[in-house]
């Protein structure tokens, strides 16, 4: 699935398009040593780092569960079997994941985290709103993102 996102840099106003190769995920530590995985992208013009998503051990566990459910749903769909209960579970976990990520963003916004080299970075969140994910062809999610 090829996802493209249209972005405007908060620092310089540059407008550009991102794809999956432009987005990075890196582990940081907070002052207590807790691991926080930060997803971000760089403005191609002014090189400002825009953080868009934070994860911790809890949200990473939810992601693993979602991946397993998606694989099961895909397998059952190929066998023309009902996936209703798995879709409900998938949607429930997705809602919990969104809430947990929102709480992380609120907790760590404008806070200092430490990268792998021990260098401090202040987390400035870039608000991203994704449209609802709908079923595309063959039951695969189809996504169109605008930032």
pLDDT tens digits, 53-86: 999 999 999 999 999 999 999 999 999 999 999 9
Res 20: pLDDT: 80
Residue 135 main-chain phi, psi, to 5 deg: -70, 130
Res 146: pLDDT: 34
pLDDT tens digits, 24-45: 999 999 999 999 999 999 998 9
Strand-pair category, 5-8 with 145-146: parallel
The structural domains of the chain, with segments of one domain joined by +, span 5-146
pLDDT of 131 > 60? The answer is no
- Return the axis-axis angle of helices 57-78 and 84-108, rounded to nearest 10°: 160
Res 61: pLDDT: 96
Sign, Cα dihedral of 77, 5, 145, 115: positive
Res 17: pLDDT: 86
Q: Is 0.85 surpassed by the pTM of this model?
A: no
Separation between Cα atoms, residue 131 and residue 106, nearest integer Å = 21
- How many residues in the chain? 147
Q: Which two tokens stand for residue 48?
A: 């400002």
């Amino acid at each position: 699935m090829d996802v493209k996102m249209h972005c405007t840099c908060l620092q310089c106003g540059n407008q550009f398009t991102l794809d999956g190769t432009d987005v990075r995920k890196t582990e940081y530590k907070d002052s207590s040593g807790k691991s926080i995985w930060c997803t971000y992208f760089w403005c191609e013009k002014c090189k400002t780092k825009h953080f868009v998503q934070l994860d911790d051990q809890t949200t990473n566990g939810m992601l693993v569960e979602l991946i397993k459910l998606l694989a099961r749903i895909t397998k059952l769909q190929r066998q023309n079997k009902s996936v209703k209960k798995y879709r409900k579970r998938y949607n429930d976990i997705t809602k919990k994941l969104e809430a947990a990520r929102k709480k992380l963003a609120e907790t760590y916004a404008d806070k200092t985290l430490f990268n792998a080299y021990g260098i401090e970075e202040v987390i400035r969140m870039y608000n991203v709103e994704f449209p609802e994910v709908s079923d595309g062809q063959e039951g695969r999610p189809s996504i169109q993102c605008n930032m």
